[in-house]
């Protein structure tokens, strides 16, 4: 892969990976407990195979995507948290968790996050981050299958051809969303050349959902 393309895309990944910022709702009767649930659900370096590295330890440097569905999901959450970035070779991964005061709020957030409109916005955010350094080809977007997970789940795949210095690589941006009870898990994945490994994708998503589910059960 062209080093120039790699550097351009990695620098743009902070724009694409869903940031854990935005205003909080105080509707929940126990915001501290909900924040603990969101924090404990995040991916850790130990969740990844050997060779992966953690990049950064806080979410302070992350940027918002500017996507309406993401912003609405963040703003209506009673608690939220985003993991550090994790990186291995041409792969990037990050998780976020949003906890809501009730199931209805989580269901609405899941619908917004997993929509075709949000996928299109994520693609636009990526393009804005790299067009000064790379030429972008025709972008395609759709949903891909995944095994049952939580109460609702959706996996997307955005395929982005990027060219720089006479080299072209296909970038795969794969957002995964799952709702369990009154919480929503997101796992954002990015890979160069080939889609992100399905087995690892499902393992990471299941890990976040299981942690959310365990935390919710402790407070029920």
Six-digit token string for 25: 């709702």
Please give the Cα distance from 191 to 34 (Å, whole number). Answer: 32
Mean pLDDT of 44-68: 78
DSSP 146: -
How many separate domains does the chain show? 1
Average pLDDT for 120-145? 87
* 3-state secondary structure (DSSP) of residue 186: strand
pLDDT digits (tens, 9 = 90+) for 149-180: 999 999 999 999 998 888 889 999 999 999 99
Q: Which helix (H) or strand (E) holds 95?
A: strand 91-99
Average pLDDT over residues 107-113: 97
Average pLDDT over residues 77-106: 96
pTM for the structure as a whole: 0.85
Residue 23 has pLDDT above 50, yes or no: no
How far, CA to CA in Å, does 128 sit from each of 19, 103, 187? 16, 34, 22
Task: Quickly state the pLDDT bin for 18 (edges 50, 70, 90).
Answer: very low
Which residue, 78, 104, 98, is CA-closest to 19?
Answer: 98
Q: Residue 197 is part of a domain; what is its CATH number?
A: 3.40.1000
Helices (H), the chain: 3-16, 31-40, 68-75, 103-113, 116-130, 198-219
Structure confidence at residue 113 (pLDDT): 96
Q: Is 117 helix (H, G, I), strand (E, B) or coil?
A: helix
Residue 213's domain comprises: 3-219
């Amino acid at each position: 892969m062209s080093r120039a393309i790699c550097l351009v895309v990695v620098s743009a990944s902070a724009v694409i990976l869903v940031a854990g910022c935005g205003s909080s709702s105080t509707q929940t009767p126990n915001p501290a407990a909900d924040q603990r649930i969101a924090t404990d659900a995040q991916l850790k370096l130990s969740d990844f195979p050997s060779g992966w590295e953690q990049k950064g330890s806080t979410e302070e440097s992350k940027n918002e995507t500017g996507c309406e569905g993401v912003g609405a999901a963040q703003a209506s959450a009673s608690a939220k948290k985003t993991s550090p970035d994790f990186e291995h070779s041409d792969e990037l991964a990050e998780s976020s968790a949003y906890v809501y005061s009730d199931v209805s709020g989580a269901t609405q957030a899941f619908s917004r996050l997993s929509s075709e409109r949000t996928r299109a916005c994520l693609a636009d955010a990526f393009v804005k981050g790299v067009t000064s350094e790379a030429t972008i080809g025709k972008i395609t977007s759709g949903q891909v299958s995944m095994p049952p997970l939580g109460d609702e789940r959706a996996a997307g795949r955005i395929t982005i051809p990027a060219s720089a210095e006479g080299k072209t690589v296909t970038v795969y941006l794969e957002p995964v969303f799952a709702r369990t009870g009154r919480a929503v898990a997101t796992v954002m994945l990015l890979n160069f050349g080939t889609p992100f490994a399905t087995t690892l994708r499902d393992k990471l998503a299941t890990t976040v959902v299981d942690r959310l589910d365990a935390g919710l059960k402790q407070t029920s």
